[in-house]
Amino acid sequence: MTSPADADLEVVHARRPRPRRGVSLRDAGPPVALVVVFGIFAALSPGFRTLSNVQNVLDAAAVLTVVTCGITFVLMMGSIDLSAPGIMGASAIAVALLVANNRNDNDYGLLGVVLAVLLGAGLGCLSGLALVTLKVPSFMTTLGISAVGLGVATLMFAGVQPNVSDRMLAGLAVERFLGLAHLTWIAFACVLVGWLVQRYSRLGRYAFAIGGAEEVLALSGVRVAPYKVAVFTMAGAFYGLAGVMVTSQLGAGLVQAGRGYDFSAIAAAVVGGTLLIGGRGGILHSAVGVLLVTVLTNGLVQVGVSPYWQGGVQGLIVVAAVAAAVIPQRRRNQVTK
């Protein structure tokens, strides 16, 4: 029965779904939303459509972007990360104490920044290790590490505000290139690096794969644990950098430097289309998400929405954005956690 076999093969092949290589259409939602929201605000408020305000939006997005770069990889693995506030606090104080400041006569300059980022990476590594060795869900390990980070920060803070007198660090927030603060360019760089990692590094691809089918990696002889730890470490490094950026903005090290960044980063990533189940989305998605969120915050102030309402409106729009992205792909008997 070969002749019908071959005949039938044609049928099968003809009906085979066309292989998808690049970005699929369902990822187009967030960018469209971004354009729409931007358009609406531009129409509503003259103050919003000024060039200076666009710069302002981009500058304001810088820190959140870096945090989100870190968290995106964790989300791609299907894990979750709440450690941003703690790690940022720790690195913020650390860098303030390491560069020229009013508390001690350290003046390590760039080295200090590097050390602070390393501290962040170290803390991130800890939560990764706790995840793979103790088998504790990342939700808890990162929550714990966040507390630890805040503790460490408070220890180093020791009651006296460390103020940064280091020109270089302070300059990052002030000096501009092509109208954008250096911090903003750093954020751009982070997105680029993140994208390269995601596209061209084994780490990034495996993070993606872990979110897709972790057990398969194990079956293919891949030891997953190291990569998980590595991803959390990398995320920690990003948070560390973000902490440094906050310090350079405030000109002083604050323990609360990272307050609230955990959930806003997750929200941004999700709005951008990096789903919590893992295996979907990516850095560029998240970047769009960050812009969307920042444009909202800025626009709402510009059009004069009461500060009380702003949070609510944002929440509403986040839900709406996700709904818009999800509804087209709704299926019966679909699992939504």
Q: Least Å distance between CB 109 and other proteins?
A: 20
CB 182 within 8 A of CB 173: yes
Question: Phi/psi zone of residue 231: left (φ > 0), alpha (ψ -120 to 50 degrees), beta?
Answer: alpha
Q: Least Å distance between CB 97 and other proteins?
A: 14
Q: Least Å distance between CB 167 and other proteins?
A: 12
Rounded to 10°, the helix 283-302/182-200 angle is: 150
Beta-bridge partner residues of 101 = 164
Q: Which is nearer to other proteins, 112 or 149 (CB)?
A: 149
Total count of residues recorded for the chain? 337
Q: Should residue 326 be labelled a site residue for other proteins when binding is judged by CB under 8 A?
A: yes
Who contacts 261 (Cβ-Cβ below 8 Å, separation ≥6)?
63, 64, 67, 84, 85, 88, 242
Q: Which is nearer to other proteins, 111 or 315 (CB)?
A: 315
Q: Least Å distance between CB 240 and other proteins?
A: 17
Q: Which is nearer to other proteins, 42 or 60 (CB)?
A: 60
Q: Pull the structure tokens for residue 142.
A: 């990162």
Q: Least Å distance between CB 124 and other proteins?
A: 14
Q: Should residue 86 be labelled a site residue for other proteins when binding is judged by CB under 8 A?
A: yes
3-state secondary structure of 104: coil
In angstroms, the CA 55 to CA 178 distance is: 10
Q: Should residue 111 be labelled a site residue for other proteins when binding is judged by CB under 8 A?
A: no
Among the residue ranges 7-15, 34-42, 237-245, 285-293, the one whose residues contact other proteins (CB under 8 A):
7-15
**x/- track of binding to other proteins for residues 160-199 (CB under 8 A):** xx-x---------xx------x-----------------x
Element (H, E) at 196: helix 182-200
Q: Should residue 49 be labelled a site residue for other proteins when binding is judged by CB under 8 A?
A: no
Q: Should residue 72 be labelled a site residue for other proteins when binding is judged by CB under 8 A?
A: no
Chain positions 237 to 296 lying near other proteins, rule: CB under 8 A, are 246, 249-252, 254-257, 259, 263, 266-267, 270, 275-280
Q: Which residue has the tokens 């981009």?
A: 58
Element (H, E) at 180: strand 180-181
Residue from the set 42, 136, 168, 180 that interacts with other proteins by CB under 8 A: 136
